[in-house]
Amino acid sequence: MSILPVVANDLHTTLPEMGHMISAYALGVVFGAPLITIFLARMPRRAMLVMLMALYAAGNLFSAAAPGYGTLILARFIAGIPHGAYFGVAALVAAAMAVPEKRAQAVSRVLLGLTIANVFGVPLATWLSQGFGWRSTFLVVGLLGVTTALMVRRYVPWIATGNASPRRELGVFRRLQVWLTLLMVSVGFGGLFAVYTYFTPTLLEVTKVAPAALPVLLAMMGVGMTIGNLVGGWFADRSRLWTIFGALVWNAAALSAFYYSSANVWAVALNLFAIGCGIAVCPAVQTRLMDVAGDAQTVAAALNHSAFNCANAAGAWCGGLAIAHGMSLQSTGPVGALLAVGGIVVLGVSVLLEQRQPAPVGATV
């Protein structure tokens, strides 16, 4: 997301058009997560993680070599295919190694990879694209993917797949609470991505920061994500639903503030930190899906990332739509806040319906 202006300039396209690069990756996640986890349900989890990371590396190396807009969109779609399944299976492996009362905290440690990447990886990507071209960013990510696959093979323990099977995993689609949780994420956290997709041009054109300051400001959001993720894991082990509700309310407020804070570099730095803290929802949603999925754990865990990437695609589209219709860059903040409110509404419906039926055995709300 942070390199969109560089890619758009090099390929002679507009920012909203390059937003499709984000959406293509997100759609790859949406389609890949359920298909892979259903048809490879019996595959040993460590072997699956290695295979998925190798595919992710290949997609990024293809992105680095893409000659034009169309092939880059295809490459981003391919790179997104293993994403949801990888994080879903990794979360299950972590939860299996933790005591029951600390499952969410174990999941939050897996997700630290995503949040720490926003402290170091995103600023590094921005710096690389500015100094060596956007292709260097995808090249480095592809090489990191190869390294990760080798390290997973070496260090991740063997975890049994239990009674997982394609037929059993398909049962997740018959559970209403799974669908409502996924819808809540897809709508409610689209707001984060409405701002995230376009905050590089917003910082450059509205806040008027120097390009050299972008990595520092992007790291502020990454620090917020890292802290929010750890705190969210702790809260989620005590109450999944209250953690999700609190994160949605927090996001609505922080995203609304972006419209005003983007005029001042110090205010927007604090605001980006606050927006990043909203990622506290991730461990809560991941473990709630495990709770309501019954015996279809693998697909449910992976679908969480499909839902977040539906939010990614929807947020990028809604933010781009506002900009394309003549609204200011900072208008993505109020657009995102409205999506967060939509997530609160879906969560309310989910809770009301859940109160009318017994909770699954062992579930924590």
Domain that holds residue 62: 3-355
| DSSP secondary structure letter of residue 207 | S
Q: What is the pLDDT of residue 26?
A: 79
- The full DSSP string for 95-151 is HHTS-GGGHHHHHHHHHHHHHHIIIIIHHHHHHHHHHH-HHHHHHHHHHHHHHHHHH
Examine residue 285 and state whether it is found in any structural domain, yes or no: yes
Q: Does position 100 have pLDDT exceeding 80, yes or no?
A: no
Handedness of CA 49, 54, 59, 61 (dihedral sign): positive
- 363 belongs to a structural domain: no
Q: How far apart are CA 54 and CA 61, in angstroms?
A: 11
In a domain, 191, yes or no: yes
pLDDT over 50 at 244, yes or no: yes
Which residues make Cβ contacts (< 8 Å) with residue 92, sequence separation at least 6?
45, 159, 290, 297, 298, 301
70 found inside a domain: yes
Share of the chain above pLDDT 70, in %: 96
pLDDT at residue 253 is higher than 90: yes
**SS3 of residue 357 by DSSP:** coil
Q: 301 pLDDT exceeds 80?
A: no
Chain centroid, CA 309 distance in Å: 6
pLDDT of residue 315: 87
| pLDDT given at position 157 | 85
- Domains in the chain, number: 1
pLDDT at 272: 92
Among residues 146, 118, 124, which one has the least CA distance to residue 137?
124
Q: CA gyration radius for the chain?
A: 19
Query: Is pLDDT of 312 > 90?
Result: no
- Write down the pLDDT at residue 365: 47
Quote the CA–CA distance of 125 and 1 in Å, as a whole number: 10
Identify which has the larger pLDDT, 148 or 298.
148
pTM across the whole model = 0.74
Lowest-confidence region among 28-42, 162-176, 258-272, 350-364: 350-364
Higher pLDDT, 205 or 101: 205
Residue with tokens 């947020």, as numbered in its chain = 315
Residue 362 in any domain: the answer is no
pLDDT in tens, 38-69: 888 778 888 999 999 999 999 999 999 988 88
Q: Please report the pLDDT score of residue 363 as a whole number.
A: 47
Q: What is the pLDDT of residues 335-358, one digit of tens each?
A: 999 999 999 999 999 999 988 875
The most confident of the ranges 23-32, 154-163, 256-265, 322-331 is 256-265
Domain of 139, CATH number, reads 1.20.1250.20
**Rounded-to-integer distance, Cα 229 and Cα 280, Å:** 4
97 is a domain residue = yes
- Average pLDDT of the chain is 85
What's the rounded Cα separation, in Å, for the pair 159 and 97? 9
In a domain, 361, yes or no: no
User: What pLDDT, on the 0 to 100 scale, is given for residue 68?
Assistant: 85
Contact 254, 224 (CB under 8 A): no
Cβ atoms of residues 59 and 80 within 8 Å: yes
Mean pLDDT of 296-317: 80
